[in-house]
Every structure is written in structure tokens, then in C-alpha cells.
Amino acid sequence: MNVHRLDKYAKSLIKVAAGRIKSSFTTDLLIETKSEANDLVTNIDKETEQFFIHHIKRDFPNHRILGEEGFGDDLHDLEGYIWILDPIDGTMNFIHQKKNFAISLGIYKDGIGVLGYIYNVMEDELISAAMDEGAYFNDVRIPAVKKANIEQSIIGINASWVVPNKHIEHEGMIKLLQKVRGTRSYGSAALEISYVVTGKLDAYMSMRLSPWDIAGGMVIAKEVGAIVTNLANEPINLLEQNTFIISKPGLHKELVTNYIRLKQ
């Protein structure tokens, strides 16, 4: 398999899928809930995933697909080529704001990240990376992330972790808020990861992300020297949900050891 050809193919599929998503704005959205009232999915999430799968299965019949909406394969291992896809990351933003959502895609071979993409559809910003070949913002090479320190950092976190909750000791989050320069929450894990790899955020963390939220971002992170682990400072498992942190160097260890106390 020629990686450059696969890269060109994946990019073109992403751009065509994005065009279809934009065209959908003229039609009524069909909105449903999944695991809970605020876990949303639309007909466009589903149609976009099916669009990818139709083309991948036709052109790469032995590749497998792990997609958020479940139209892909039922995976129990990471052997061979696997496309890990979130057709719309930030579905709530897609519905409410018609912006601030991304197509997130990672292509893995035997569990190793080969190609990664995060496409901010409405801004036409494609962050991409190929293993050992660096990361790009559209066609411009992204430099390695710089070392950060906690006092001067902007951290992506969700406000719900700062009040008592079942996942994390919120006192640690309050302590963090008082220490950092600022916090942000954008409502799309893939976009927040893209902001860390391009230096706009210094770290981003989440209590529960699925493989498709992070698979593309992990390939990109590696190419720019951003650190990715779960919140217990262990490697991510792409076959299950994980807690998650991506950080510039200089921050990661301090965040996971001094501020994050998981409850489970």
C-alpha cells in the first residue's frame, strides 16, 4: 500500500464529504438522541459515515472501518488497515451553530497510526499528518509544539468537571483553574486536539472519549511532539473508551500528577 496514494485518496474523500455536509444546510435535519438526552446524532452524521464506508469498501475491500455511527466493522483487534472515523465530531455544534465541528479520521496499520486528519469543515482548515513525515495545516508544515508552563497556559476543559461530578475530584480542577492563564471549551474533541497541535491551546483533557474522537489527532500529535495519554498517564487503547489528555511538553506530568484525581 502506497501511503502517499492513500493520503491523497483520504483527503479527497474528506473534502467531498465536507461538501455534502455543507449542502445539507438547505434541508431539514433529522435529530435523534443516543445514550442520553444530550448525546445527539443526525441523518447527516449517518449519511456521511455511510458515504465514507461505501467508497472505502469499494476501493480498499480488505480495509476495515471503525465508525461512530456503527455502520462499519465490529472490531475486536487492530490487525491490518483500519480507518477510524468520526463523520461529525461536535454534533451539538453542528446542530446548534452550523460551525465548530470536524471530520476526524485516523488510518492505522496493525495498530500503528499511519495517517491522521482533522478537518474543520466550515473554516476549510485541514490538519493532516503522515507517520514520520510531519504534520500540515492545509499545505503548511506545522512546527513542533513548544514547551509550556502551567502559569502561562490555556487549557481546554469542560466546565462540568469543576463542579462535583462522578468522574473526577473537582477540587483539583478548581486548583487548576486558579493556576492557569485561561480555560476554553469548544465542544469538539477533534478540534480541541487540533488547537493543541497548532499551539492555540497548551493542553486539552476529557473524561471520556471514543477511538474515533482521537485516532486522527493521535497521529498528528506524534508528528509535532505533543504528548497523549489517558488521565492515569497510560497509553490509549483504541478499542475502547478512554479518559484523555493531550499536552505540550512541560505540562503533561504536572497536570496528571498534581491536578487530576480520577474517582474510579
List interacting residues with ligand 2AM (CB under 6 A).
35, 39, 68, 86, 89-91, 158, 187-189, 208-210, 213
Binding to Ca ion by residue 213, rule CB under 5 A? Answer: no
For the chain, the farthest-separated pair of C-alpha atoms sits apart, in whole angstroms, at 53
Binding to Ca ion by residue 192, rule CB under 5 A? Answer: no
In whole angstroms, give the CA distance from residue 14 to residue 190: 15
Residue closer to ligand 2AM (CB basis): 95 or 144: 95
30 phi, psi to nearest 5 deg: -100, 115
CB of 35 to ligand 2AM, least distance (A): 5
Paired with 41 in beta bridges are 32
Residue closer to ligand 2AM (CB basis): 67 or 113: 67
Residue closer to Ca ion (CB basis): 7 or 68: 68
In whole angstroms, give the CA distance from residue 168 to residue 185: 17
CB of 238 to ligand 2AM, least distance (A): 14
For residues 72-101, which are near Ca ion according to CB under 5 A?
Answer: 86, 88-89
Q: Judging by DSSP bridges, how do beta strands 140-141 and 154-156 pair with one another?
A: unpaired
- Checking 135-144 for CB contacts under 8 A at 24+ apart, the result is 135/197, 135/220, 135/223, 135/224, 137/198, 142/197, 142/198, 142/220, 142/223, 142/224, 143/224, 144/224, 144/225
Binding to Ca ion by residue 49, rule CB under 5 A? Answer: no
Residue closer to ligand 2AM (CB basis): 94 or 130: 94
The CA angle 51-63-82, to the nearest 5 degrees, is 90
Residue closer to ligand 2AM (CB basis): 38 or 178: 38
Residue closer to Ca ion (CB basis): 1 or 31: 31
Residue 30 to residues 100, 122, 204, 216, 252, Cα–Cα distance (Å): 19, 20, 31, 27, 40
107 phi, psi to nearest 5 deg: -115, 120
CB of 10 to Ca ion, least distance (A): 18
CB of 59 to ligand 2AM, least distance (A): 25
Q: Which does 90 bind (CB under 5 to 8 A by kind): ligand 2AM, Ca ion, none?
A: ligand 2AM
CB of 66 to ligand 2AM, least distance (A): 13
What are the residues binding Ca ion (CB under 5 A)? 68, 86, 88-89
